[in-house]
Structure formats: C-alpha cells, structure tokens
C-alpha cells in the first residue's frame, strides 16, 4: 500500500524507492503552445502525473466533471494511489471527461492566477493533452463537424429549413447517432433562416466606418441560431444611449475547435476575427460580447494561444472586450442610462454561467435585472452540464444530464420564478430539455421589460412627488 500523504507535503514517496513526484512547477509545466516543450510527449506525461498527484491529494474538485471522480476512483480502487500506474487509455479517459467548464481552475488554490508555486491549471493542461494527442492521431469526423458551427449554420440555411425538420425525425437522428455520434435525444439548437449579420445589414446596423463607442461580437450561436438575442441586445444598448454597431465577417470564437485540441483551426478563426475587429479597437471601440464563452476566449485565451503579430493584436483586443452586462453596468449611473421599465417578469431564477465565473467580472446581467421593478432574484451557481458540444454527444449525453442535475434542481426549486435567466444560450437549451423551462438571456428580459406588452404584469406609473 502506498504511503498516505497530504497536499502540503509537496511530494510523496512513490512505489519505487527513491523516486518522488514533486508538486512544484517543473520543466513540463508549460501552457504556451509556442514553446517546443509544449509538444514534447515525455514532458507532458510527467506534467500530467504531477497534476494528478496534486489533485489526488487535494480532492477539492470532486463535485465537478467526471475527470476528478474518475481519477480518484482509479487511484483508490485499482492503483493504490500510484499515478504512474495509470494506463494510457485511463489517462485518455480522464482527459476526455473534462468539458472545459473551468470551475476547477476558478476554485483551485494552486493556480498561476493565484501566484502559487504549483502553477496548476488543469483545464489548460487538458487542452495541451488533447492538442498533442490529436496532432498524433488526427481528428474524428464528429470533432470536425462539431468544431465548425459556422459550416453547420451555412449548410442548414442551404437546406431551406429542412435541417430543422430532419433534426426532429427519428430515422435521421438515428443516422446522426451512428455517423456523427450525436445523441438521438439531445435537443439541438434550431437554425435561423437568415443570419444575424444579414438582418443587421438590412436594418442599417452594420458599421460602415470606425469610431463607434462599441461594436458587437454576436457569437456564432446568435449569428446562426437565435438572432433575436442580438436584436434584443442592440435594443437595450440603444435604450441606454449606446449606438453600438455590428460588423461583418466575424466567425466562431474558436472554442468548439479548441475543446478538441484543434489549435490550427482556432488560430485561423481568431485571425479572421482580429482582422475584422482591430480597426474598431484601434479607433477606441469597446467590443461587446453576448456569450460568456466567446468573451472568455477573446479576453483570456487568444492572448495566450496565438503567435506573432496576432498575439500582440489579441492583447489589445482583450483590453477592449466587455460582456454586454458588464458594459451596461459600467454606465448605469450616467445620465443617458434609462431604467424606466414598462412591464415586469416578477421573480427570476438566475443561472450563473461557468465561463462568466471564469472571467471573474461578477454577474452584471443579473444585477441589471434587479433594476426592473418587482424583480426578486435567486442565483444558482452549479454547472448546467451542457458545456459546448458535450451534451450533444452520444457518449456524454447521459453524463451531461447527471452533472447538471443540481443546477436543474436549483432552478426548479425557485417555484415563484416563472422566468429563468442565464447569459449562456446553450445552458438555456439544457434547462429546457432537462428542467422543463428555457432560460432567457438577460438582454432579452431587459428588452421585453422596456415594452408595455413584454410581460403580463405592467409596472405601475411613477407617482409624482407633491
């Protein structure tokens, strides 16, 4: 039996006399893909073992994704605590169970963000592991399809609506399960008949020049699936004196590709987004991002994953990025801010998206909703389990529902709340499938509350002071 140890010991005796696994960051602690050691499989294996050793001793993250319970179970029941005894297949399984919610990094006391000597960033280590693995093995058809939502949106529109119809046909869903590994019961987002960008062009919302206070990064979900969120966002911004503009030519932020370790595709997508956005950033515009995942990518991932001139441009872009709620909160006390609402949703159940938590900017969309008269708020902090494409896959659909169960229960437990809110549209889809009610984006709720018929309950007119 291996000797028991604590995280504070910094190292423990291994089963081989004289060998120790140090908890301190070492030569293999590399998160920058520009460094040659990032791609060294020997250094990577050593770093994975170091990370597993730390996590096995700490166990703070037992309640998140299946990576940690899976790791602990293997070490406790099979390998007597020896991380070096894990097989390659077992390591692959542990890493595949990570769906990049980032909550372990948010909670971990040993991260570079905390300035700790261990410099442990488990989600980045998983990204590195997948990037090295797929450079060696290539990508599956499933990974290539799910990693390119822009292509999926283009093909769906070319089908003239048949894609939405076929996604509800059992035989087609069986085919998608067998060929693409997409679970036949997973609720898939519907595709809009026209993109958000096309609507913006017809509505005079596209920027013809630079120098605007803000431009919108609408995200691929709003672009292809739910343009109304983008329309609502512009309506709320304009109501508060910000004439934000849309820009043409934006593509996916790259997270769907990068969650599979596809660094090349991520860099191509990032380069196109930088080419489109940087003239506006150089002219002083803020970049307002609707989806927290995309904001996290632009703000935190681009500056660390790109190379050369693109990395320097990404650092400038990151300084200009704001979550839409974050931006509106920053101008809430300015004379132009308009908090005169005409209808109210009443009590709201709010879900805090994981990738909003990862940015450490607070929950400003939630705080803005509190400005609506009659709103009371309950907040659920648990992960919903959708996590990009994780909930769509045949081999992780059930796990996704299990991971999200506490979030479902938390939202359902707020019985007085007939309206649910979250900044993550895919979380909204997950709640609809597993908890019976779709959560709306805060910008949609705000936009409706500005309208007299937005919600059934009107806001009483303000009484004039005598």
Tens digit of each residue's pLDDT (9 = 90 or more) over 172-188 = 999 999 999 999 999 99
User: Quick one: residue 362, left, alpha or beta (phi over 0 = left, psi -120 to 50 = alpha)?
Assistant: left
Average pLDDT, integer, range 384-402: 92
Is the Cα dihedral 415, 418, 421, 427 positive or negative? positive
Mean pLDDT of the chain: 92
The answer to whether residue 7 scores a pLDDT higher than 90 is: no
Average pLDDT, integer, range 401-411: 95
The answer to whether residue 238 scores a pLDDT higher than 90 is: yes
Task: Report d(CA 197, CA 192) in Å as an integer.
Answer: 12
List the one residue out of 123, 197, 117 whose CA is nearest residue 157.
Answer: 197
Average pLDDT, integer, range 378-397: 92
pLDDT at 460: 87
- CATH 3.40.50 domain span(s) along the chain: 343-458
Q: Tens of pLDDT along 81-114?
A: 999 999 999 999 999 999 999 999 999 999 999 9
Dump the DSSP string for 267-299: HHHHHHHHHHHHHHHHTT-EEEESSHHHHHIII
Residue 170 or 13, more confident: 170
Average pLDDT, integer, range 67-71: 93
Whether CATH 1.10.357 fits 343-458? no
List the one residue out of 308, 85, 321, 110 whose CA is nearest residue 214.
Answer: 321
Task: Report d(CA 227, CA 206) in Å as an integer.
Answer: 14
The answer to whether residue 353 scores a pLDDT higher than 80 is: yes
pLDDT at 246: 96
The answer to whether the pTM exceeds 0.85 is yes
Percent of the chain with pLDDT over 90: 86
Give residue for tokens 């132009």.
Answer: 336
Q: Tens of pLDDT along 249-294?
A: 999 999 999 988 999 999 999 999 999 999 999 999 999 999 999 9
Alpha helices (runs of H) in 78-215, residue ranges in sequence order: 88-96, 103-107, 122-137, 141-146, 149-158, 162-166, 170-180, 196-202
pLDDT at 61: 87
Confidence bin at 1 (pLDDT 50/70/90): very low
pLDDT at 63: 82
Task: Report d(CA 423, CA 441) in Å as an integer.
Answer: 5
Percent of the chain with pLDDT over 70: 95
Contact 207/246 with Cβ under 8 angstroms? Answer: yes
The answer to whether residue 148 scores a pLDDT higher than 80 is: yes
pLDDT at 146: 87
The answer to whether residue 60 scores a pLDDT higher than 80 is: yes
Confidence bin at 14 (pLDDT 50/70/90): very low
Confidence bin at 147 (pLDDT 50/70/90): confident
For the chain, report the end-to-end CA distance as a whole number of angstroms: 81
List the one residue out of 359, 332, 342, 320 whose CA is nearest residue 216.
Answer: 320
pLDDT at 110: 95
pLDDT at 463: 52
């Amino acid at each position: 039996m291996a000797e028991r140890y604590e995280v504070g010991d910094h190292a423990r005796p291994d089963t081989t006399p004289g060998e120790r696994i140090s908890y301190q960051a070492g030569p293999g602690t590399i998160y920058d893909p520009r460094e040659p050691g990032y791609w060294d499989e020997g250094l990577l294996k050593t770093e994975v073992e170091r990370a597993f050793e730390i996590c096995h001793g700490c166990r703070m993250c037992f309640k998140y994704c299946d990576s940690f319970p899976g790791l602990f179970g293997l070490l406790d029941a099979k390998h007597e605590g020896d991380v070096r005894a894990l097989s390659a297949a077992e390591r692959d399984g542990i890493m595949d169970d990570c769906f990049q919610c980032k909550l372990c990094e948010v909670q971990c006391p040993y991260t570079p963000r905390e300035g700790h000597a261990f410099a442990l960033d488990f989600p980045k280590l998983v990204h590195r592991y997948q990037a090295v693995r797929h450079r060696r093995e290539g990508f599956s058809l499933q990974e290539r399809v799910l990693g390119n939502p822009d292509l999926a949106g283009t093909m769906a529109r070319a089908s003239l609506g048949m894609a939405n119809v076929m996604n509800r046909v059992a035989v087609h869903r069986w085919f998608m399960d067998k060929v693409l590994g997409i679970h036949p019961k997973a609720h898939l987002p519907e595709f809009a008949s026209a993109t958000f960008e096309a609507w913006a062009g017809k509505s005079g919302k596209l920027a013809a020049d630079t120098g605007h206070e803000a431009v919108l990064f609408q995200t691929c979900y709003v672009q292809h699936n739910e343009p109304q969120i983008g329309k609502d966002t512009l309506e709320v911004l304009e109501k508060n004196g910000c004439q934000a503009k849309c820009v043409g030519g934006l593509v996916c932020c790259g997270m769907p590709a990068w969650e599979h370790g596809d660094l090349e595709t991520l860099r191509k997508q990032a380069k196109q987004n930088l080419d489109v956005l940087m003239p506006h950033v150089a002219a002083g515009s803020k970049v307002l991002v609707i989806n927290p995942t995309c904001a996290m990518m632009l703000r935190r991932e681009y500056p660390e994953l790109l190379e050369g001139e693109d990395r320097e441009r990404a650092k400038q872009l990151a300084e200009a990025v704001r979550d839409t709620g974050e931006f509106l909160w920053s101008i809430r006390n300015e004379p132009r801010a308009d908090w005169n609402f005409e209808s109210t949703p009443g009590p709201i159940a709010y879900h805090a998206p994981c990738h909003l938590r990862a940015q450490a900017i607070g929950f400003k969309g939630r705080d803005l909703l509190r400005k609506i008269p009659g709103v009371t708020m309950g907040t659920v902090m648990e992960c919903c389990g959708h996590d990009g494409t994780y909930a769509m896959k045949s081999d992780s659909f059930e796990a996704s529902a299990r991971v999200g169960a506490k979030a479902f229960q938390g939202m359902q437990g707020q019985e007085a709340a007939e309206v649910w809110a979250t900044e993550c549209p895919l979380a909204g889809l997950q709640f609809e499938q597993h908890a019976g009610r779709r959560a709306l984006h805060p910008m949609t709720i705000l936009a409706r509350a500005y309208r007299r018929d937005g919600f059934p309950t009107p806001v009483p007119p303000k009484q004039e002071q005598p």
